[in-house]
Structure 1
Amino acid sequence: MSNLEEFQSFAKKNTKRIPRNNKAVIYTRVSDVKQRENTSLDSQKQLCEDFAKQNGFEVCAYFGGIYESAKTDDRKPYKEMLAFVKRKKITNIIVYSLDRYSRTGGMAIATVESLKKKGIRVLSIAQNVDSDTPTGTFLQGFHLLYSRYDNDVKSTNTIRGMRHRLLNGYFMGVAPIGYKNTRNENNKPIIVHSDKASLIKKAFLWKANENLSNVEIVERLAKYGLKIYKQRLSDIFRNPVYCGLITHSLIEGKVVKGIHKPIISEEIFLKVNGVNKQKSKHNVKNENLPLKGFASCVSCGSPLTGFIVKAKGIYYYKCKTIGCSCTRNSGILHQYFKEILSAYQVDRTLIAPLKAQLRYTFEYFNKSSKDNTPILKRKLKTIEEKIEKMQERYVIGEIEVDLYQKFREKFTTEKEEIEQEIKDNSSLSSNLDSYIENSLKLFSNLHKIWELSDYAAKQKFQKLLFPDGITYHRKNDRVQTFSVNSVMKLISCLSVNLNKNKSGQTSNFECLSACVTQEGFKPPTLRAEI
């Protein structure tokens, strides 16, 4: 029989096993400041040191030792500890209890598993299990999940209590500027006026009565000794707490009467935010004056408003400038506008050749982006791999939370942009015929569509076709337009070229380049606006 010792050189070894050492770190934590004061941190530290000594561990560093919540793993001492044990090749993390280590549940389990792959284990005194065995791993995971469950139960009870207090009119959180936090005779937290309340009131009154800009109000407040940014001032003006009301995400969109003393009245708050209880007669929609606000006077630049001569029952447009003689019968002005629409209207005999021409035009101006979906999909896969790798590095502590958040936002934005581009390409090519069909139907019935629409539809239609509106020159009695919808302009150019080119051949695009925007011909944009 052969001697097996002669074959020892052929035996395979487990190269994946990471050797452990006796180096360790101690992590302590409390979630309540009262625990910190009653020596809970000192007790944890002492028990961990005794455990280390009994098991022959060399304590190389201490982490934590402060008041912090463990409901997330974005804790700075926690991340520093993970980075330290990896850098110093320490294989043991000693904690008093697993709920001191983390209360994130699934995330904590993933972190522990990642550490275990690097030979690093989490040792708990209160739950002394061998995480190298299947049973020990299960028990450790159970304790981590239970910590998350316990934390969620406490959080639910806390939220329920907060919601109850909000519904009873108590403000929750740090007092907004102009107020300060205190307690009432029943020792319940409330907010009362601070020394800045009078200045906040002035700011509201300046806005409501003098219609000052936020920049001007900021400058005035600075002269009174209150320095504030205009962005924060905007938040103040939109916060109903100042008129005695409370809103909060926990009460699901409700507005509650607060028990605190308001700084301003509800009327002032609504006035500052442009909410009037009575509608102005000038803002009432009038079906007889659809061009009101859309057309403007060439002489003074003022938007045209309207009025009715009751004796005649006729509506007129006029500008708002005193002394300007820009007044015109509404029926005549409407006729002028319909003539403009007719100038851009497509001849029905050209619809068939226009369909072919529009498709060719689209392909011509978008040829650079044609068939680039495979390239975009490869880019998307690369970005997804980067995100996955970055998440893994964050979990095992190789990168800090601020760096993780920075690049996560960057990669996520890139991913969303690529996904949207893929979606746009797919939608554009698959629905192109439908877009062209709808566009031609629209532009072959322009004045009829406008004529038969109601007031709101006319306003939207006008703005779509002529984004900058129209102008009326009273002296010359004519209407002008300056900017025209790019698709409408393109179709008009193509119609002119098709009329000239009776053979039906595709047009020379050099003469059409001025009709198309830099972004090219995009029918989906038109459909979205319509």
Structure 2
Amino acid sequence: MSTAVLYIRVSTDEQALKGYSQRSQAERLQSFCANNNIEILQTIFEDHSAKTFLRPAWTKLMQHLTQQKLSRPNLLLFTRWDRFSRNTADAYYVITQLSRLGIDPQAIEQPLNMSIPENKVLLAMYIVTSEVENDRRSLNIKYGIHRAKQEGRWMGHAPMGFIKKATESGKTVLTPYEPQATLVRKVFTRISELNTSISRLYKQSLDEGLHCSLGAFWCMIRNPVYCGRVKIPEFTGKEKYEVRGIHEPLVNEELFDQVQRILDNRKRNTYINKPLNDLLPLRGFIYCPCCHRKLYGSGSKGHTKRYYYYHCYAPCHYRVRSDRMNTLFLGGIANLKAEDDYVSLYKEILQDTFKDIYNKKVIDQVYITRTIEKLIDRVAKARELLSNGNIDCEDFLAIQKDCEARINTLGLELHNAYSLVEIQKVSLDQAVSQISHLDDLYERADLALKRRLINLILVSNLIFNEAMFGQDVKKEVQVIYGICDPGSHLSLYEGATKHEQETPDVSPNFDNSMCAKIREIEHRKGSSIDWEGAKNVLQWLRDLARISQECRIKK
């Protein structure tokens, strides 16, 4: 004998239509089972829409069928296919899940043998017909709401100060509701008198008995329904507009328009202000000339704008305008011109560095693509677990939201990696020229790259002075830009321990031939540099090349 679970579903608006009542469906299903010698194991009653399978009774049923392997039925019976689902894609997915469990879903009034391929076309027709019916009903509701608004009727909950009442024709109309209506009128009148702020007026209205949040208060004083107008939103390509409402207004149009002009004039100027850090890139690198403590940075409010300073918290209270110090630094690096031999050397290093970054980005592309695929699979598995009843709807939505956020972030990173293909087309000579135009590189970089460039150039614990260059830059900069005196001996590891000299921080792709070239360049200049110093110069050039490439990628 075959066994079956009866699935009886109605939605709220179908209770008394077309014989869709639960009792009617139960009688027909029970009669069908009695005539065909089918044992009824369970009857499931559902009062939920069939747009999706996120239904309480269905979720519990799937969870039971998944866990109880020995008591699974052979059939899942319902009267018609629209009782099962009104979504084609979801229906096919759930039918596949039931087939894996050995359960055959069947509509007794629309029987289909799913082993016959042609019957799948009939199944699609049955379900699509219901889906189209749902979509048509939804569209009709939207058109009906839009038409009612065009007639001047307010759709939705009654705004504060109004109540909905039915007319003799059966239509609902907004009617003033006391004492809220009087309080709303007072609000508009007080705003027009220009004698108080909105926040103070809101608190005063709360004390008088107006119950709403500050956000709802702002919506209220901006809503034209109070002067008898109804907003018509954008619909089918038509722009939004307003029509005369059929309800009684609480305030006249002149008062409402006057209030809107007052509120518009109170708006703050919308302009993009640079964050504090963008105006203080040297903060933490410069020290006070009076007490030799680190200079901090902050803004000071003036009559028309904020002025930013680098300042000391010590009793000396020393401070200097940030724009002045920033200009001094920018002018100093603008005067740095690399020697020709180091420009040629930098070109070779730039090519090698770009190759390293490009290879890394290619690896990133593969990794990001695989990660995105895994996140998509995770959502699909979560949907399957939801259908089987192993997780609830809230858990599924949380997993879906998390995966979508991570996919969006990874998508930006993937776009960044692909942008290197375009960067390759940029002339190498343009990148090489930046070694002698550090000011141009500095101005095009974001805050993080600016601070890396500052750290690359300036010595640590630099005391501020008007001439911030010369011996105030690192020894590597002195070598590359010819600041050192001819004939000098350069040991860039003076004061370092023996361990530090043996293990300098250099790139893993370090090329000994580059160090030999650096030593040869200095020898031709009549100077000398030890091996560790040459390694440090090479590392400085590599760091500059990476900053240059990252700046180009972000642009």
Q: For the superposition of Structure 1 and Structure 2, which TM-score range results when normalised by the shorter chain?
A: 0.5 to 0.7
Gaps of 5+ in 2: 272-278, 281-296, 309-321, 460-472, 483-517, 522-533
* Kept after mapping to 1: 8 A contact 2:78/2:107: yes
Q: Distance in 1 between matches of 2:261 and 2:142?
A: 30
Deviation at 1:358, TM superposition (A): 7.3
Deviation at 1:101, TM superposition (A): 2.0
Q: Distance in 2 between matches of 1:305 and 1:465?
A: 28
Is 1:157–2:140 an aligned residue pair? yes
Instruction: Give the equivalent residue in structure 2 for 1:388.
Output: 380
Within a 5 Å distance, the mapping from 1:433-444 to structure 2 comes to 434=426
Deviation at 1:219, TM superposition (A): 5.7
- Give the structure-1-normalised TM-score: 0.62
Which structure has the greater CA radius of gyration?
2
* Kept after mapping to 2: 8 A contact 1:203/1:217: yes
Within a 5 Å distance, the mapping from 1:14-163 to structure 2 comes to 21-32=2-13, 35=16, 40-66=21-47, 68-88=48-68, 89-163=72-146
Instruction: Give the equivalent residue in structure 1 for 2:477.
Output: 498
Change (3 A) 1:299 1:231: closer
Instruction: Give the equivalent residue in structure 2 for 1:473.
Output: none
Share of identical aligned residues, percent?
16
Counterpart residue identity of residue 301, structure 2: S
Deviation at 1:146, TM superposition (A): 1.5
Q: Distance in 2 between matches of 1:231 and 1:509?
A: 60
Select between 191-200 and 120-129 the one with higher mean Cα deviation. 191-200
Within a 5 Å distance, the mapping from 1:197-216 to structure 2 comes to 210-212=196-198
Change (3 A) 1:146 1:349: same
What is the root-mean-square deviation of aligned Cα atoms in Å? Answer: 5.5
Q: Distance in 2 between matches of 1:304 and 1:484?
A: 33
Instruction: Give the equivalent residue in structure 1 for 2:551.
Output: 523
2:154 to 171, 184, 188: 171
Instruction: Give the equivalent residue in structure 2 for 1:412.
Output: 404
Change (3 A) 1:131 1:510: closer
Instruction: Give the equivalent residue in structure 1 for 2:170.
Output: 187
2:241 to 255, 258, 265: 255
Change (3 A) 1:348 1:396: same
Change (3 A) 1:58 1:257: same
Deviation at 1:33, TM superposition (A): 6.1
Q: Distance in 1 between matches of 2:201 and 2:352?
A: 56
Name the SS of the counterpart of 2:49 in structure 1.
coil
Instruction: Give the equivalent residue in structure 2 for 1:302.
Output: 301
Deviation at 1:305, TM superposition (A): 4.3
Gaps of 5+ in 1: 1-19, 285-293, 307-316, 320-332, 450-460, 468-482
Deviation at 1:209, TM superposition (A): 6.0
Change (3 A) 1:48 1:184: same
* Kept after mapping to 2: 8 A contact 1:167/1:251: no
* Kept after mapping to 1: 8 A contact 2:300/2:307: no
Name the SS of the counterpart of 2:40 in structure 1.
strand
Instruction: Give the equivalent residue in structure 1 for 2:505.
Output: none
* Kept after mapping to 2: 8 A contact 1:344/1:488: no
Deviation at 1:404, TM superposition (A): 1.6
Q: Distance in 2 between matches of 1:158 and 1:345?
A: 67
Is 1:342–2:325 an aligned residue pair? no
* Kept after mapping to 1: 8 A contact 2:22/2:45: no
The alignment covers a number of residue pairs equal to: 439
Deviation at 1:138, TM superposition (A): 3.4
* Kept after mapping to 1: 8 A contact 2:4/2:42: no
Change (3 A) 1:429 1:145: closer
| Deviation per residue, 1:263-289 (Å, 9 max, x gap) | 67244345446677xx99xx99xxxxx
Deviation at 1:303, TM superposition (A): 3.9
Deviation at 1:32, TM superposition (A): 0.7
Q: Distance in 2 between matches of 1:493 and 1:353?
A: 22
* Kept after mapping to 1: 8 A contact 2:77/2:105: yes
Q: Distance in 1 between matches of 2:8 and 2:90?
A: 18
Name the SS of the counterpart of 1:32 in structure 2.
helix
- Give the structure-2-normalised TM-score: 0.60
Deviation at 1:406, TM superposition (A): 1.5
Instruction: Give the equivalent residue in structure 2 for 1:268.
Output: 259
Instruction: Give the equivalent residue in structure 2 for 1:313.
Output: none
* Kept after mapping to 1: 8 A contact 2:185/2:250: no
